[in-house]
Amino acid sequence: MVVATAAAMASGFRTKALLDLSCFLTAAFCAFLVPTYAKLTTIEHPVKTDRSLSFLVIGDWGRRGFYNQSEVAFQMGRIGEKLDVDFVISTGDNFYDNGLTSVYDPAFRESFTNIYTAKSLQKQWYSVLGNHDYRGNVEAQLSPILRSVDKRWLCMRSFIVKTEILDIFFVDTTPFVDKYFMDPEEEHTYDWEGVQPRKTYLATLIKDLKAEFRNSTAKWKFVVGHHAIRSLGHHGETSELIKFLLPLLKENDVDVYMNGHDHCLEHISSIDDSIQYLTSGGGSKAWRGDLKPEEDINQTAKFLYDGQGFMSVEMNEKEAMIVFYDVEGKVLHDWKISKQLYSAV
């Protein structure tokens, strides 16, 4: 399968940068074999009385209601009520085009508070940062001041949501991607405060994830990041995540990886692991006709859709039902995973 970042990494300068990072993180992996204390923030979220859980997943949305963002939000409210969702997950790129300027940026209300108004969506939102969010004031999105503006909002770089049946590991994927740091043609500026020195930041993150995975006793493990590991969309696969994050997912029996970044909806399986790769990046502006099904040489794609929409998850200890919806709330694709059989049905 073609890796979307391969062309961008063709220059000798960027290849050397990737090799340097690779050597550093590979050495770090070996060091992580000793016991460590995990440092990621952990949030406990209760399940329903019947020990079930339901939530929505939306990505790449914050456009002040334009590009059908309001229409998608309306359908989210309808489905959210039907499923009695416990929370909402955002896969990043929360505010276009360049994140927030400050905690007082009106875009927060105009793209979030004033859009997702349905009663069923007045639940906790768990959000990660996308690359567009890093173009603005990152600390503004992370600030507790925003939670005083809208109590639903919770955004951190990397963190964990623990329930009685599911652990969700939220991973800050943007700092993994070399082109944001190395590409001389990259026209945007990024707020790397809190990330530099980059090698140390990534090594610490991998160490903490490794420790948290090892300590997890949940029956289900999901991981959320902005960038795709497997995708047939515009951006495609993220080679850095395949190299540094995917091995952790495989080693620790992660069930699902969820992302945004590509402005579409996707469900891709794998020929060499049991992970389900789900893209929910259709929260507003979609890229019609920008899918590459011809690159699915191993026929692992279960579902591809180049329009707007979102997804839902309903689960208990034994099974999880994943459903994708379009901008009109129509069911496009569903998939059941049985935990008893450790395989998709």
Is 232 in contact with 258 (CB distance < 8 Å)? no
The binding site for Fe cation comprises 60, 93, 96, 131, 226, 261, 263
Q: How many residues does the chain have?
A: 345
Indicate the SS3 state at residue 100.
coil
Tokens 């496009």, residue located: 332
> Please, what is the angle between helix 12-31 and helix 198-215, to 10°?
40
Cis peptide before 197, with omega less than 30 degrees from 0?
Answer: yes
How many other β-carbons are positioned within 10 Å of the β-carbon of residue 161? 22
Measured CA to CA, the distance from residue 232 to residue 178 in angstroms comes to 20
Measured CA to CA, the distance from residue 105 to residue 91 in angstroms comes to 21
Measured CA to CA, the distance from residue 314 to residue 54 in angstroms comes to 4
Q: Is 235 part of the annotated catalytic residue set? A: yes
The binding site comprises 60, 93, 96, 131, 226, 261, 263
Residue 341 contacts by C-beta under 8 Å, 6 or more apart in sequence?
Answer: none
215's enclosing H/E stretch is helix 198-215
Token readout for 35 is 């016991």
Per annotation, catalytic residue among 132, 227, 235, 333: 235
- Residues known to be catalytic: 235
